[in-house]
Amino acid sequence: MKIYKEVIFMSTILIKNGTLIDGSGSKRYLADILIENEK
């Protein structure tokens, strides 16, 4: 689970820096991951 959380953290940084190529798709995907992680 530690690796899973690190991936989410890294993805969040990429979104904040605006370096993701597919911003909208990646944000949607990240949001889904975060929602699932909250359950």
| Separation of alpha carbons 16 and 26, rounded Å | 12
Q: Residue 26: its pLDDT value, please?
A: 60
| Separation of alpha carbons 17 and 38, rounded Å | 24
Q: Residue 27: its pLDDT value, please?
A: 62
Q: Residue 33: its pLDDT value, please?
A: 72
Token pair of 37 as six digits: 């992680």
Q: Residue 36: its pLDDT value, please?
A: 73
Q: Residue 30: its pLDDT value, please?
A: 67
Q: Which residue ranges make up each domain of the chain?
A: 2-38
pLDDT tens for residues 1-39?
566 666 666 666 555 555 554 545 566 666 677 777 766
The number of beta carbons lying within 10 Å of the beta carbon of residue 30 is 17
